Amino acid sequence: MSTAPPDSFEFVETTVAEVHAAMTDGRITAEALVERYLARIDAYDDDLNAILTVNDDARRRARDLDARFAEDGPVGPLHGVPVLLKDNQDTHDMPTTAGSVALADSRPPRDAFVVERLREAGAVILAKANLQELSFGVDTVSSLGGATRNAYDLGRRPSGSSGGTAAAVAANLATVGTGSDTCSSVRSPPAFNALVGVRPTRGLVSRTGIVPLSETQDTAGPVTRTVEDAARMLDAMAGYDPEDPVTATGADEVPADGYVSHLDPDGLDGARIGVAREFFGVHDETSASEADAAAVTAVVDDAIEAMAAAGATVVDPVDVVDADALGSARVIPHEFARDFDRYLARLGGAAPHDSLAAVYETGTITPSVESRFEAAGILDVDADTLEEDADYLRRLRRRTELREAVLARMVEDDLDALLYPPSRVPPVEIPEHQPFSEMNCELAAHTGLPAMVLPAGFTDDGLPVGVELLGRRFAEPHLFELGYGFERATDPRTPPERFGPLDGA
C-alpha cells in the first residue's frame, strides 16, 4: 500500500475508477475527497451559480464509508464517489425544490428510486444543483437559484433544464452527476459543457420521486465527464421499480455484466452511422443566425470524419422524419399539471402546496418561466377529461408512429445509430434565452429511444459543441460501444480554464 498522505490525490478531471484506485492505494479517502469538492464549491460556485444546497450529512456519510472500506472493502460500484443531484430528484435528508421558491420547504419523506439506487451503490450525495425552474425550459434560471452560467463562458447559458449539474460537473465540483430529460435536459447541457449525457430508453430508469413535467417523456440519466463514468452511473440507476410499472419493459434489458462491459475502444470499427442532415442548420431564422449554425456544423462534421477514420461507415444523409412533424407529438402542455399534482399528492403532508396552480398563484415563479406557462396554456388543461381529449390521444398515437418510422429507417439502412447535433447553435449570451426551436431534443423524447451526447469539440470562439447518437430501443450497450470508441479516438474533452486546481490543493 502507498505511504502517500490521503490528500495527495490529483482529483480534478478524475474518474470513478481513478477514485477507487486511489482509495485502494491509500492516496485518498472518501472524507478527504468530499472535503476537497466542498472547497471547490466554496471557491467557484459564486461564479457558476450552479449549486442550490450542500448536503450537511456528506462528511458523516463519507466517514462511515471509509470505515466500512477499511473493514470489508467497497460497499458497491460507486463507493465513496461524490455525486451531484439535479434538484428535482427526491432526497429524504435534503429539500427537493425544482428550483422554485414555492417549494423551498418541500422535504420528501423518502428518496427517489434512482437516489436510493445510487446510495445503495455507495455514492455520497454531495449537493443538489440548480435547474430551469420546474424543469420548464432550456436556460437554467429559477426563482430559488437565479441563473446558472456556462462553465466555459460565464457570460453564456449552460442550457437546461439540467444546466446546474452540467456546469458543476464540467467545473469539477463533483465526480459525477444526475440530470433528468423531458426534452433536451440531459443532452443539451452536457453538449454545452463538454460532457457526456445519456437519455435512456423509456422504461429503463424509474421516474418515481422525480418532480415531473410529463409522465410520457420524463426520464433520468447520468451527466459525466467520460463515457466510462456514464456507464457506471447507468449501471447503478437502471432497474425495475414496482412503483413505476413502465420499468417492467426494461427489467430484462440491462446487461447482466453491466454497461461498463461494453466499453470497447474499437467500438466504431464496422459500425454504420446515419447522419440526419435535417437537424443541421438554422431551423427558425428569427431565433438564430446561419453563422451560429455553421459554427456547430463545422465541429460536428469534424466529429463525423473522426468516426469514419475510426472504422465507421457513414451514411450521409439519411432522411428520418420531418423536423416540423415532431411537434405534433408534444404532450408536455397536456400532462404537466396532471402529473405535477399527482407528485404533490404522493408527498402528503410534506407538500407545501397541493397543485401546480397553487404554485403558480404564489406569484414567485421566475418571470421567463411564468411567461412560458401563459404561452403554453399549462393551467387551462382539464386533467379529469384528458383521457378523452382527442388532440391528446392523437399526439400519443403520433409518438408510436414516429418510433416505428425511425426504427424502420434504421433497419432498412442497417444503421447502428443516427447522428445529429443536440443543438443547432452554440450557447447564447445572457440575458438572451436559448432558442428551443434550435434544440434537436424531440426525436429521442418523442420516440422514447435512447440517445447519448458526447463532446465533439469547440467552436473558434471556444464554445463546446456536442454530437448526439440515437440508438434502437434498449440499445444502450451498443451506444456505449460507439461512444467509447469515439472518445478513445478523439479525446475531445478539454476542461474549462477558469476552474483549475485550487492553490495548495
Catalytic residue among 185, 188, 206, 214: 185
Helix (H, G, I), strand (E, B) or coil at 256: coil
Catalytic residue among 106, 135, 143, 161: 161
Q: What is the DSSP track for 431-457?
A: TSPPPGGGB--HHHHHHT--EEEEEEE
86 flagged as catalytic = yes
Q: Which residues pair with residue 219 across a beta bridge? A: 181
- The Cα–Cα gap between 70 and 67 comes to 5
- The Cα–Cα gap between 468 and 458 comes to 15
Distances (CA, A) of 365 to 12, 292, 375, 379, 435: 36, 31, 15, 14, 20
- The Cα–Cα gap between 223 and 200 comes to 12
The H or E element that residue 178 is part of is strand 176-181
Amino acid present at 294: A
135 flagged as catalytic = no
- Helices 113-120 and 227-237: crossing angle in degrees, nearest 10, is 110
Asked if 78 and 121 touch (Cβ cutoff 8 Å), the reply is: yes
Catalytic residue among 86, 135, 142, 206: 86
- The Cα–Cα gap between 164 and 192 comes to 12
Residue 412 grid cell: 432498412
* The Cα angle at residue 56 between residues 52 and 61, in degrees rounded to 5: 125
- The Cα–Cα gap between 146 and 144 comes to 6
Residue 208 grid cell: 418515481
Q: What is the DSSP track for 372-431?
A: HHHHHTGGG--GGGGGG-HHHHHHHHHHHHHHHHHHHHHHHTT-SEEEE-SBSS-PPBTT
185 flagged as catalytic = yes
Helix (H, G, I), strand (E, B) or coil at 370: helix
Q: Annotated active-site positions, please?
A: 86, 161, 185
